[in-house]
Each structure stands twice: as structure tokens, then as C-alpha cells.
Amino acid sequence: MTYDFAPLFRTAIGFDRLARLVDNAAQTASGPSYPPYNIERLGDDSYLLTMAVAGFGSDDIELTVQDNTLIVAGRVGHIPPAGEILHRGIATRAFERRFVLADHILVEGADLTNGLLKITVKRFIPEAMKPRRIAVTSGAPLPAPADAAQVAAPVGPAANDGAGVAGQTEHAA
């Protein structure tokens, strides 16, 4: 089943990221399932992504964050077998997994132990986005806005009285 979001995007501006998210979700649903992974919530603002990557070393795995997307790629160089392989059940094929990250999500680190790659992810809220309390006063004058000096300066023809730097008069050459 496919959805056509074209009517929505004809009347919306700045929702390009939403369109990419929908496209990525559609591709991921039909994408490969290797390697298997878990996503756990450890707390309100922390997550753990665990991937089963048996046969890969820390030098074989590359983590990249680009455009709010975590890309986990694994590539193992060809290792000649010590003997004749009768059955190959451990997959060491190259892979690339993409995870879309929400705004203000930071990948803190990764650890590979016993064939499990654990990636810690945390949500951080910038100070400007955190709620802040505004004090309510009674009868006190409101503070002047920070731009008051710029607003008080004359604008337009009155601002240019012909005086140059340090009161010098400009002359046309």
C-alpha cells in the first residue's frame, strides 16, 4: 500500500524533512533485515541500540550521523578460511543500516563486546528550548527591550545629516 502525500506538500512549506522521513520509512519496511537489532528505552531521554554483528571487529564497523540519520555500516575484508568450509551459517556480509533520529538526539558512543554493538543515544534539550519561569511583578516598570538603543536612533533621511565619521562633513568628489 502506498500513500500519495503530494496534496499535503503542495500547500506546506518547510516540511521536506517529513517527506524524507516518510520515504525512508517506506524503504525501510521493505529493506533488508540483516543484521538484527533491538532498540531499548533506558530512561526518559536515553536509548540503547543493540545490533548483533558476529564476526565483525571494531575496525570493520563505521558509524556516521548525517542529516538526523544514524548510518551503521559494516564491511569485513576477505579472510581466507583455515580449512574447507562445509557449512557457512555465520553471515559476515557487508551491511548498512539507517536509523532516523529525532531533533535534539545525540549519539554518545558505541561499544562492541561479544558480537553485540551497543550504541548509546541521548536526547538533549537546548537551553533555549527548555521551559523557563517568568517572574510576575506588580507596579514595577517593565524593563526596556534590548533593542531600545537601535529603535531610538533616527532612521531615514534625518539619520544622514551629511556628517561623516567623527562629525566630518563628506564632500562629493
CATH number at residue 119: 2.60.40.790
Q: Does residue 172 belong to any structural domain of this protein?
A: no
Looking at the domain assignment, is residue 1 inside a domain?
no
CB 26 within 8 A of CB 98: no
Say how far apart CA 18 and CA 118 lie, in whole Å: 28
> Can you give the pLDDT at residue 165?
46
Q: How many domains does the chain have?
A: 1
44 is a domain residue: yes
HSE, side-chain direction, 13 A CA sphere, residue 67: 7
Residue 122, in any domain of the structure: yes
Domain assignment present for residue 94? The answer is yes
What pLDDT, on the 0 to 100 scale, is given for residue 19?
66
Sign of CA dihedral 80, 82, 85, 89: negative
Say if 18 falls within a structural domain: no
| 121 part of a folded domain | yes
Dist. CA 125–CA 45, nearest whole Å: 9
Is residue 61 within 8 Å of 35, Cβ to Cβ? Answer: no
Q: What is the pLDDT of residue 119?
A: 96
Q: Is 47 among the domain residues? A: yes
Instruction: List the pLDDT tens digit at each of the 173 positions of the chain.
Output: 566 666 666 666 666 666 666 766 666 555 667 899 999 999 988 999 999 998 899 999 999 999 889 999 999 877 777 888 888 887 778 999 999 888 888 999 999 999 999 999 998 888 888 788 888 888 878 777 776 555 555 554 444 454 444 444 444 44
Range of the domain at 48: 34-78+89-129
pLDDT value at residue 30: 59
CB neighbours of residue 68 within 10 Å: 15
